Structure 1
Amino acid sequence: MRTTFNRRLSVITVVLLLVGLVLLVRLASFQFNFDINTYWKNTNRYVQVGDEAPSRGLILDRNGEMLAGNTTEYRVGLSPVYITDKEGAAQKLAQVLNLDEAAIYKAVTSKDSYVQLTSALISAETARKVDELGIFGVRLDPEPKRIYPQGSLAAHVIGFVGWDGTERRGYVGVEGDYNDDLAGQKLITEESSIPFDANANTRPPPGRTIMLTIDRRLQYIAETELQKAISDYKAEKGTIIIMDPRTGEILAMASFPNFDPNTYTTADPKSLKNPAISDEYEPGSVFKIVTAALALQDGGIDPNTWTYLDKSVYMLGGAPIQNWDRAGHGTQTFAQILIRSWNVGTTTLSVEVLGLRKFYDGLKRFGVGQATGIDMEGEASGTLKEPGISLYWSESELGTNSFGQGLTVTPLQMLVYGNIIANKGQMMQPHIRLATIDGNRVIRAEPIPVRSPISPEVADTIRDIMIRVVNEGEGDKAQVRGYTIAGKTGTAQRQCNECGGYDPYYNNVSFLGLVPGDEPRVSILIQMEKVPDYASQTAAVVFSELAQRLVVVMNIPTDAERAVLKAQGGQTDQIEFR
């Protein structure tokens, strides 16, 4: 019996020895295979709550070309206590990072638990080289970086991403207006506090991708033509906008000076805002299309029979109003007011045909003094002083407002007014988003009708007169071979602070054009500031050169081709981009 007991005791002893041996082996494994990451991942100690930002959504043009994307850069840090070969680590890191070896040695011999090695971010390629060194205790923290592969192209439309003190967010343009969609939702996670532990098992879903109405090719054409025009005509700045008047889509929106969103911190802060939607200026004679349309809509006149006496001076509120040539021209027709751009003519319409209340009510129907509501951050509303409401309104402004002086608009607002005429009296909401892509879902932005300030008949009449402006009037330099063009010039005096009033030497010039003029598929606004010449000699020329390139890219048929299509019963309003 004692023998049996001793035998059992021996077995138990052997088992205990074996268990002890296993424990010693495991302990040795922890002692000599110093994989601190594995250790802490297999324990629940020192757990903290953190949040992880998702990858920001892309911004694409209407054809899927990337305008804004993401890359990853890295911040280098280390925990000195875990680095055994300190001299070797300092030497290797100095070579890869191109840093002073002595400074790195000071970091690796520090008594601190964690040292950030460099404040500057390193590229993914450099981070790979650091990782290949195999130095235990070195930490690479990924930092998302927004990139703009097209450089300055469409910079004012896109905007940029910056740091607001607590997080990265979009500023101005699409980055600003659609920041919540692009940024996505942060993921709250639990992660180890050990400096070089990375819990990458769960990633937050990326932000939504925004596809724009912009066509990169048209944007490039607009920007190159604008820069050439500013150089040729010695302008201070300028804007070109191209739209589809039927849908409100922005096909291109260019302004100069511009900036590169990749390096926005080095840009002039004034260049970061989008002049196309934020600059307010007096539009001048291009605004006469609004006054003329209101006269037909609310004034009860027949454009085919109505005439007026064009005097050399029209006195209103004690102020003289004159034509651009300082002359009177006798009996003139309704159409000649736009064709020859007579200030006395539009003053006659606003004062004698419409009257104060109808004129200002009509301007508000067109949206003068009201922001368009475009889906871009930073839009201004323009200014309109109203009688009985605005403190500084004077009677003479009933006349000067009729030809675009004494009120201000943004370039986008002015083009929206032209779109009403192009689109048979229907105002469409201007927009920059074509679609939102959320995973496998594509959410298209549908065209939104706003209101109809004028009837289709009035719109067609004004548009037909705008064709005559180009064919026989002040806009003749806007002609494009093979195409009917409708348009209106605008030369406005510019406010000059140093002059104490209007600038006697320089003008703000613009041209609003429709292609084709009789069946508008595209509307274009050319606007330049501080130009020493008239719009008919500058902005109209820029329009022509731009439109010649645009009709090729957009595959817009010539007048002759459209005539053949109509004869064959085909559609002429379906434009396919090449």
Structure 2
Amino acid sequence: MAAGRGYGTSVPLYQRTGPRAGRRIAPMKNELVSEIPFRRFFFIGGALSLAGLFIFVWMIRIQTSEAGREILDRAQDYKYTRKVVYPERGNIYDRWGHLLAGNTEVYELGADLRDMEDPDTIAMTLANVLGMDSSAVKATLTPIDEENKPIYVVLANSVPPEKIEEIRELSEQLQAQAERVDSKKYAEMPSLKGLIWTPRLQRRYPEGSLGSTIVGFYAYHDRQSPRGYFGVEGKYDHLLAGQPIEIRVPNDPYLIDKPPSIPPGASLMLTIDREIQGMAEQVIDRAVADNGAQSGTLVIMDPNNGELLAIASTPRLDPNEYWKYPEIFTANTPFNRGVEATYEPGSVFKVLTMAAALDSGKVTPETTFLDTGTITVGGIDIHNWDRGAWGPQNMIGCMQHSLNVCLAWTATEMGPSIFYNYMQRFGIGHLTGVDIAGEANWPLSVQGDPNWYPVNLGTNSFGQGLAATPIQMITAASAIANNQGKMMAPHVLKAVIEAGEQFDNPPQVIGTPISAETARTLTNMLTISLEEESSVALVEG
């Protein structure tokens, strides 16, 4: 009989008889289960819960950490390509609103190689519609390396809308024919499936080469980093281009959405007059041809405000075919000689010398000079252009007959210090700051420089032995022509049009090299010299 009966089955049993009397008898199986401590289950369950919580926390941390985001971004890179989207480029107009540079819609024509079914028909169609080489098109559509075969290939760029419409109509006709045949013959029908056309804007110059040396060009074929070159396109590229943005574009062409809307770049109104520019180009072209010259330049500026009305230069480029630039501008030929090419100005420089002599008080219009045909400066003899002696002359006669000897004499009367001080005040040897890309400059050598000699004072007085650009010369002359003695900043930008508003570019005075009285006196002297000579340079008014 079990000891302690009535106290439950957990009480141990003892054997009373036999050789093992008094020993403890093992409990039943259900009694063993009751002996296992429940804290073991709690420990294992808690450990697993903590491990799960740890894994969950680390998953959140990885996804929200910088390293995690980088991994996710890399994964997305396999699906997308980062692309810079450029806004619509601003237009360029002449002073009267005539379009000189704008944009037109064209298409990129490509093929999705996954959906393409008939490369032969595509190649033949592009050969007939676009004049492309069918074998070259087919080679692009059927790459040899199947493992690295692209999803999308570009077949043609800058396709005009009318050509795309022709291809679209043909594609629809072939599709309609294929749908009418038996399903077994469907695969044998010609198809343009896989062709994709994407619109984009392309720079357009409706006036062709007219004013092209002022406008410059936009290299739109450079899809990675298109920008403006030369002229206004180069100088104001940042305004015309607007603010580009970077977006992610799916590698699958069928997943490409419409690009986000971006504000267009600013439009520019120039001071250039299209009609005057056209006439100036005709005049300079005829002059080059008649004289057998290699090149020519003609600059027209309003001296009262510095507005450039025309700059005609040779050669010229049609910016619609800007890729021909290396063929036309060979051997470092300047794109716009008016601002990029220095030259010995010659006799036109005499106007600045006389202005300096009058303003410094060294001469008056009535000052007389006996021209013997020769003057010695720095030990070197200087002669007149015709090597003749013109006898007694006043300063009006010196200008009327363009006498080298007389102008060299006025320079020696001033001396190097006064003479070169005035030339620097006129801007010789300094950039004008004209808003056309590529302005050049040649330093003015003065007394004390290693390459200056005493004879330079004489030769410089009539524009030899120094160099300037046409834009420097016309800027200096504006101080005389406006009768105010004020030198105006040359510029081609009249106004900026942005966000529906027009911002005018006001004229600026960049120097006052001579007094208004000197300017009026010299203008009168030049007028008399032309009238007495009956010069063809005379104009009414």
TM-score, normalised relative to structure 1: 0.71
Please list every run of 5 or more consecutive structure 1 residues that lacks an aligned counterpart in the other structure.
Answer: 1-42, 484-515, 517-578
Structure 2 counterparts to residues 240-319 of structure 1, below 5 A:
240-266=298-324, 267-270=327-330, 273-304=335-366, 306-319=367-380
Q: Which position in structure 2 is the counterpart of 1:151?
A: 208
Say which SS state the counterpart of residue 453 (structure 1) adopts.
coil
| Distance in 2, Cα, partners of 1:272 & 1:146 | 23
Distance change >3 Å, CA 108–CA 450, structure 1 → 2: closer
Please, which moves more after superposition, 89-98 or 52-61? 89-98
Counterpart check, 1:174 vs 2:211: no
Distance change >3 Å, CA 82–CA 334, structure 1 → 2: same
Q: Of residues 474, 483, 495 in structure 2, which corresponds to 1:415?
A: 474
The 8 Å contact of residues 77 and 114 in structure 1, kept in 2 or not, is answered as no
The 8 Å contact of residues 277 and 378 in structure 1, kept in 2 or not, is answered as yes
**Aligned-pair CA distance for 1:323:** 1.3
The 8 Å contact of residues 67 and 150 in structure 1, kept in 2 or not, is answered as yes
Distance change >3 Å, CA 217–CA 90, structure 1 → 2: closer
**Aligned-pair CA distance for 1:332:** 1.8
Say which SS state the counterpart of residue 235 (structure 1) adopts.
coil
Structure 2 counterparts to residues 414-453 of structure 1, below 5 A:
414-423=473-482, 424-453=484-513
The 8 Å contact of residues 187 and 203 in structure 1, kept in 2 or not, is answered as no
**Aligned-pair CA distance for 1:73:** 2.8
Q: Which position in structure 1 is the counterpart of 2:289?
A: 231
1:493-517 CA distance string (max 9 Å, x none): xxxxxxxxxxxxxxxxxxxxxxx4x
Q: Which position in structure 2 is the counterpart of 1:530?
A: none
Q: Which position in structure 2 is the counterpart of 1:123?
A: 160
The 8 Å contact of residues 369 and 381 in structure 1, kept in 2 or not, is answered as yes
User: Which amino acid is 1:59 matched to?
Assistant: I
**Aligned-pair CA distance for 1:124:** 2.2
**Aligned-pair CA distance for 1:136:** 4.3
| Distance in 2, Cα, partners of 1:49 & 1:364 | 52
Please, which moves more after superposition, 117-126 or 64-73? 117-126
Identity of aligned residues (%): 37
The 8 Å contact of residues 279 and 380 in structure 1, kept in 2 or not, is answered as yes
The 8 Å contact of residues 107 and 115 in structure 1, kept in 2 or not, is answered as no
The 8 Å contact of residues 309 and 330 in structure 1, kept in 2 or not, is answered as yes
1:269-328 CA distance string (max 9 Å, x none): 245610011111111111111111111111344333x22222221111111011122223
RMSD: 2.4
1:239-268 CA distance string (max 9 Å, x none): 111111100000111012222112232242
The 8 Å contact of residues 493 and 505 in structure 2, kept in 1 or not, is answered as yes
Distance change >3 Å, CA 94–CA 287, structure 1 → 2: closer
Say which SS state the counterpart of residue 56 (structure 1) adopts.
coil
Q: Of residues 184, 199, 202 in structure 1, which corresponds to 2:260?
A: 202
| Distance in 1, Cα, partners of 2:373 & 2:140 | 83
**Aligned-pair CA distance for 1:127:** 2.2
Please list every run of 5 or more consecutive structure 2 residues that lacks an aligned counterpart in the other structure.
Answer: 1-75, 173-191
User: Which amino acid is 1:469 matched to?
Assistant: S
The 8 Å contact of residues 308 and 331 in structure 1, kept in 2 or not, is answered as yes
| Distance in 2, Cα, partners of 1:178 & 1:145 | 18
Say which SS state the counterpart of residue 381 (structure 1) adopts.
coil
User: Which amino acid is 2:328 matched to?
Assistant: D
The 8 Å contact of residues 288 and 295 in structure 2, kept in 1 or not, is answered as yes
User: Which amino acid is 2:216 matched to?
Assistant: G
**Aligned-pair CA distance for 1:92:** 4.6
Q: Of residues 419, 427, 442 in structure 2, which corresponds to 1:359?
A: 419
The 8 Å contact of residues 416 and 446 in structure 2, kept in 1 or not, is answered as no
The 8 Å contact of residues 156 and 272 in structure 1, kept in 2 or not, is answered as no
**Aligned-pair CA distance for 1:76:** 2.1
1:134-154 CA distance string (max 9 Å, x none): 544322244432221111101
Q: Which position in structure 1 is the counterpart of 2:459?
A: 400
| Distance in 2, Cα, partners of 1:335 & 1:279 | 31
1:336-393 CA distance string (max 9 Å, x none): 11111111111111102x11100111110000111111000011123421111x2121
Please, which moves more after superposition, 343-352 or 133-142? 133-142
Say which SS state the counterpart of residue 269 (structure 2) adopts.
strand
**Aligned-pair CA distance for 1:231:** 1.9
Q: Which position in structure 2 is the counterpart of 1:502?
A: none
The 8 Å contact of residues 259 and 272 in structure 1, kept in 2 or not, is answered as no
